[in-house]
Amino acid sequence: MTPDFYTDLTTDSLNGKLLDGATSLRILEDQDIDLFPLLNAAYTVRKEYWGKEVQIHILNNAQNGHCPEDCSYCSQAKTADTDIESYRMKPDAEILDEARLAYESGAHRYCMVFAGRGPSDKRTAHLAGLIRKIKSRYPLEICVSAGLLDEDKARVLAEAGLNRFNHNLNTSERNYPNICTTHTYSDRLDTLKAARNSGLQVCSGLIVGMGETRAELLEVANTLRELNAESIPVNFFLPLPGTELEPTQDLTPDYCLRVLCLFRFLNPKAEIRAAAGREVYFRSLEPMCLYPANSVFLQGYLNARGGERKQTLQMILDAGFTIKSEVPLEELMEREKSQANQLVDSKGRLNVLKTESELRPARNLVDA
C-alpha cells in the first residue's frame, strides 16, 4: 500500500468524509494494509481531537444480577448460570462513597451501572436524587447505564445533571435475535434517540466477536456515526463462565487493532474506548490500542476482572500518554499498590469473575 493510502485515510476522516464500504472492509481484512502505518493514520486523527490524553473510566455496579433479560453474553442475565455476587441497588451512602473513591482514584467521570430492563418511574426519581447529591459533592461527570429508557425518564435524569447515558447497541440488527430475545435492536436504538432528544450525551458501543459479519460491524460503526455518539466503548467478547453465548470468532490482536482504527476513522471526534477484553485479546500489542483509542477502563468490567489498576496506569505512562485527571499520573502511580487482581491465578487458570470486595469497595472499607 502506498503512503498516500494512509494519508488519505487521515485526511478524509479529519474532513468528515465518510469512508466508503469497500475501503472500510479492507481495513479489517486486507493484510496488504500494514498495521503500523494504519495505527499511525488513526493516531493522527485521535491526536487532533484528544491530544495524548487518555480518559480513564471506573465502573460501579450499583446493582448486580437479578436481571429479567436474557442477553446470552451477560453474566447477570436470567438465563446465566454464574457464580456472581447478586445484590439489589446499593444504598445511597455506599454509592456516594464509591463516587468519592473514584474521584480520589483520578477518574473525571463516574459510571453507575444498574442491571435490569430499565428503571421504573420511582427508580428514575431515586436516581435523579442520587445524581444531584454526587454532583453537589464531587466535580465528576456522571454516566448512567440503566437499560431501556423513554424520553420522559431521560429528561428527569438530564434535569438532575446527568451528563451521559450509556446503552450499547452491542451487535447488528440482523444478529440481535441471536444474542437476546427479551428486547430488540430497535428498543435499544429508541433508547439512544430518547437520551439524545433529552439533551444527554450518548455513550454506545458494541461487543465484537458475537457472530456479527465484518459488514455488520461496519454497519454498527456507521449507525453510531449517524447518532453522533460522543462515547463509543468497543468491547471484545469475553466468554464468562456460566453464560450461554459461545465464542465463534478468533479475535487476534491484529484484528482488534484494525477494528479500533476503523471506529476512529468513522467516528473521528468520539471518545473511543478500548473496553472489555483489552487485557485478553491485544496481548503483547496492548499499548498500541492507545493510538486509535483514547479511553480505557481502569480496573475491569461489570463482573469480569481487568488488568491491575497499576498495570493500566503504567502502560499509559510508558507509552508516553497522559490521563485526564486532577491527580497527576505519576502521583496516582505512587498511590497504587500491587494487588492480587491478576487475570490468571497461581495454578494458571483464568480468574475472571470479580469478588464481593471488588464489586463493593466502599462497603468493604466501612466493614474494615
In 3D space, the residue among 221, 292, 297, 212 whose CA is nearest the CA of residue 251 turns out to be 212
Catalytic, 74? Answer yes
Judged by beta carbon, residue 181 or residue 338, the one nearer ligand SF4 is 181
Catalytic, 71? Answer yes
Catalytic, 203? Answer yes
Catalytic: which of 46, 164, 188, 203? 203
Compose the 76-95 pattern: x for residues touching ligand SF4 by CB under 6 A, - for all others. Answer: xx------------------
Site size for ligand SF4 (CB under 6 A):
8
Catalytic: which of 196, 273, 278, 305? 273
Q: In angstroms, how far is CA 84 from the centroid of its own chain?
A: 20
By CB under 6 A, tell whether 238 contacts ligand SF4. no
Judged by beta carbon, residue 73 or residue 265, the one nearer ligand SF4 is 73
Judged by beta carbon, residue 56 or residue 84, the one nearer ligand SF4 is 84
Catalytic, 261? Answer no
Judged by beta carbon, residue 13 or residue 61, the one nearer ligand SF4 is 61
Alpha carbon distances (Å) from 7 to 12, 14, 188, 214, 261 = 9, 11, 36, 24, 14
Q: Which residue do the cell numbers 453464560 mark?
A: 243
Range 100-129, binding ligand SF4 (CB under 6 A): 115
Catalytic, 256? Answer no
Compose the 255-294 pattern: x for residues touching ligand SF4 by CB under 6 A, - for all others. Answer: ----------------------------------------
Cell numbers found for residue 167: 446503552
Only one of the segments 73-81, 194-202, 307-315, 343-351 lies at the binding site for ligand SF4 (rule: CB under 6 A); that segment is 73-81
By CB under 6 A, tell whether 203 contacts ligand SF4. no
Q: List phi, psi (to 5°) of 76.
A: -100, 0
Alpha carbon distances (Å) from 141 to 6, 118, 309 = 35, 21, 20
Q: Among positive and negative, which fits the CA dihedral 344, 345, 348, 354?
A: negative
Identify residue 315 by its one-letter amino acid code. Answer: M
Judged by beta carbon, residue 114 or residue 265, the one nearer ligand SF4 is 114
H-state helical runs in the chain: 3-14, 21-29, 35-50, 92-104, 121-137, 151-160, 176-179, 185-197, 214-226, 253-266, 278-281, 309-318, 329-335, 356-359, 361-367
Residue in 33, 56, 62, 74 binding ligand SF4, rule: CB under 6 A? 74
Cell numbers found for residue 79: 438465563
Q: How far is the CB of 32 from ligand SF4 (least distance, A)?
A: 38
In 3D space, the residue among 313, 321, 312 whose CA is nearest the CA of residue 291 turns out to be 321
Q: How far is the CB of 130 from ligand SF4 (least distance, A)?
A: 19
Judged by beta carbon, residue 69 or residue 279, the one nearer ligand SF4 is 69
Q: How far is the CB of 12 from ligand SF4 (least distance, A)?
A: 35
By CB under 6 A, tell whether 134 contacts ligand SF4. no
The total of other beta-carbon atoms located within 10 Å of residue 83's CB is: 11
Contacts of 20 (CB under 8 A, 6+ apart): none
Q: How far is the CB of 245 from ligand SF4 (least distance, A)?
A: 11
Identify residue 335 by its one-letter amino acid code. Answer: R
Q: How far is the CB of 300 from ligand SF4 (least distance, A)?
A: 16
Q: Which residues are known to be catalytic?
A: 67, 71, 74, 111, 143, 203, 273
For binding to ligand SF4 (CB under 6 A), which residues are involved? Answer: 67, 69, 71, 74, 76-77, 115, 147
